């Protein structure tokens, strides 16, 4: 079992595993590794899938699969197993990672096994009830949830109706904006080479920083997302996500980038965000193209050092200040007041040259 920040879901797990037939169980604390080596690289890329999803589940799967391969080697096992269904993305993420790290390993995927007799969640509920197997969910609330340091996802049941509003009782990490405090919370987030390293001047480890931001942002109703996404296997699926800390970190990171990154470097990096997000979402974390892409992105982050001041209020996350020792912002050039460094007449030739092709097109188009 991988501890990637799912909190109480790990309580009593060893006892449950042994009582349901396991001979041995590993419970690995992967929180720092998850934050440092998976979440933060995606943050440096400003990765977001289909303009909405911050890839919470997508980023955790390759780490879990990697750890399975390591344990299999230690135990001299010839097989690894996952419980993802044959409809979703997770089966792909797990299995592509297995293949990338150990192509000779045998993969057991229960939902795709001919001997698997369960055909629905309800049949699994009935089985668990018959044999007194405790479950963290009930028939009344059968949502499929996946939690880690970055987010918690909710799928299934009433959420399969794309017109139905998510019931308030499914939310775990976030208050509703209506119930959030009536006064805003201000927080300062400091970055070094694109990585968040301190909150309000206090340095924290990656996992502790994310934990802290989840509490602060969640209390202010930030990070709820309701989307219909395109799964890698081809179907559309509705997901309701809570990503409180991540939402603020992504916005703060962008704010520091805005004053430290060269325009053309930023444009080029931004053009790669959809590809990066797609690779992560589809399970190609250990593919050579992802390694190459990450190397380029990390090169763009060398000067992304500084602090963003964020205002959190009733579901809104607003940048209200940013500063950096590497700032490329010059008030002397940008001011609307009188200055001694910029000749506004220079813009005439600049515009004339940039408009030349448009002028030529129009002349030729209207040529008699």
Q: What is the DSSP letter of 146?
A: E
Which pLDDT band, with edges at 50, 70 and 90, does 297 fall under? very high
Task: Give pLDDT tens digits for 146-192.
Answer: 999 999 999 988 999 999 999 999 999 999 999 999 999 999 999 99
Instruction: State the pLDDT at residue 334.
Output: 77
Which pLDDT band, with edges at 50, 70 and 90, does 144 fall under? confident
Note whether 187 and 257 are within 8 A (CB).
no
Conformational region of residue 235, where left means phi above 0, alpha means psi within -120 to 50, and beta covers everything else? beta
Q: Which domains does the chain have, with CATH numbers?
A: 2-323 (3.90.1260.10)
Instruction: State the pLDDT at residue 138.
Output: 66
For residue 302, pLDDT beyond 80: yes
Interval 67-79 mean pLDDT: 97
Instruction: State the pLDDT at residue 16.
Output: 83
Instruction: State the pLDDT at residue 132.
Output: 83
Instruction: State the pLDDT at residue 10.
Output: 78
Give CA torsion, residues 173, 177, 181, 183, to 10 deg. 130
Note whether 165 and 178 are within 8 A (CB).
no
For residue 299, pLDDT beyond 80: yes
CB environment 210-243: b (16+ within 10 A), e (fewer)? bbbbbebbbbbbbbbbeeebeebeeeebbbbbbb
Instruction: State the pLDDT at residue 128.
Output: 85
Give the distance between the most distant pair of CA atoms in the chain: 88
Cα→Cα distances 362→349, 353, 356, Å: 19, 15, 10
Interval 222-251 mean pLDDT: 98
Choice among 14-28, 51-65, 274-288 with the minimum mean pLDDT: 14-28
Choice among 56-65, 130-139, 253-262, 291-300 with the minimum mean pLDDT: 130-139
Interval 27-49 mean pLDDT: 98
For residue 135, pLDDT beyond 90: no
Interval 237-256 mean pLDDT: 98
Instruction: State the pLDDT at residue 142.
Output: 66
Instruction: State the pLDDT at residue 140.
Output: 64
Interval 335-352 mean pLDDT: 87
In 49-140, DSSP assigns E strands to: 79-82, 106-109
Q: For the chain, give the mean pLDDT.
A: 94
Q: What is the DSSP letter of 353?
A: H
Q: Which long-range contacts (CB under 8 A, 24 or more apart) does 277-280 make?
A: 277/45, 277/47, 277/48, 277/49, 277/50, 277/53, 277/55, 278/49, 280/42, 280/47, 280/49, 280/55, 280/58, 280/59
Instruction: State the pLDDT at residue 222.
Output: 99
Instruction: State the pLDDT at residue 139.
Output: 65
């Amino acid at each position: 079992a991988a501890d990637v920040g799912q909190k109480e879901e790990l309580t009593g797990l060893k006892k449950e595993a042994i009582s349901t037939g396991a001979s041995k169980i590993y419970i690995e604390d992967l929180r720092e590794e998850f934050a440092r080596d998976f979440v933060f690289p995606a943050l440096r890329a400003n990765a977001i899938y289909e303009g909405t999803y911050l890839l919470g589940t997508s980023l955790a799967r390759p780490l879990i699969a990697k750890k399975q391969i390591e344990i299999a080697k230690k135990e001299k096992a010839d097989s690894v197993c996952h419980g993802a269904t044959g409809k979703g993305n997770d089966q792909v993420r797990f299995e592509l990672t297995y293949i990338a790290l150990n192509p000779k390993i045998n993969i057991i995927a229960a939902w795709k096994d001919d001997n698997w007799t369960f055909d629905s969640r309800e049949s699994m509920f009935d089985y668990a009830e018959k044999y007194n197997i405790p479950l963290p969910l009930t028939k009344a609330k059968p949502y499929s949830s996946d939690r880690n340091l970055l987010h918690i996802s909710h799928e299934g049941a009433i959420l399969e109706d794309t017109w139905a509003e998510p019931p308030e009782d499914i939310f775990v990490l976030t208050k509703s904006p209506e119930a959030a405090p009536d006064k805003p919370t201000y927080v300062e987030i400091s970055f070094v080479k694109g990585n968040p390293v301190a909150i309000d001047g206090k340095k924290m480890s990656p996992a502790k920083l994310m934990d802290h931001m989840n509490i602060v942002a969640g209390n202010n109703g930030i990070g709820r997302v309701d989307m219909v996404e395109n799964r890698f296997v081809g179907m559309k699926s509705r997901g309701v996500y809570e990503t409180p800390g991540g939402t603020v970190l992504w916005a703060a990171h962008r704010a520091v980038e805005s004053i430290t990154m060269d325009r053309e470097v930023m444009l080029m990096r931004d053009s790669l965000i959809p590809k990066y997000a797609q690779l992560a979402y589809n399970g190609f974390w250990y593919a050579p193209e992802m390694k190459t892409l990450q190397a380029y992105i990390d090169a763009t982050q060398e000067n992304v050092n500084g602090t963003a001041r964020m205002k959190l209020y009733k579901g809104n996350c607003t940048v209200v200040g940013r500063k950096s020792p590497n700032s490329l912002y010059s008030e002397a050039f940008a001011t609307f007041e009188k200055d001694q460094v910029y000749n506004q007449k220079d813009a005439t030739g600049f515009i004339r040259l940039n408009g030349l092709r448009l002028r030529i097109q129009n002349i030729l188009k209207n040529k008699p």
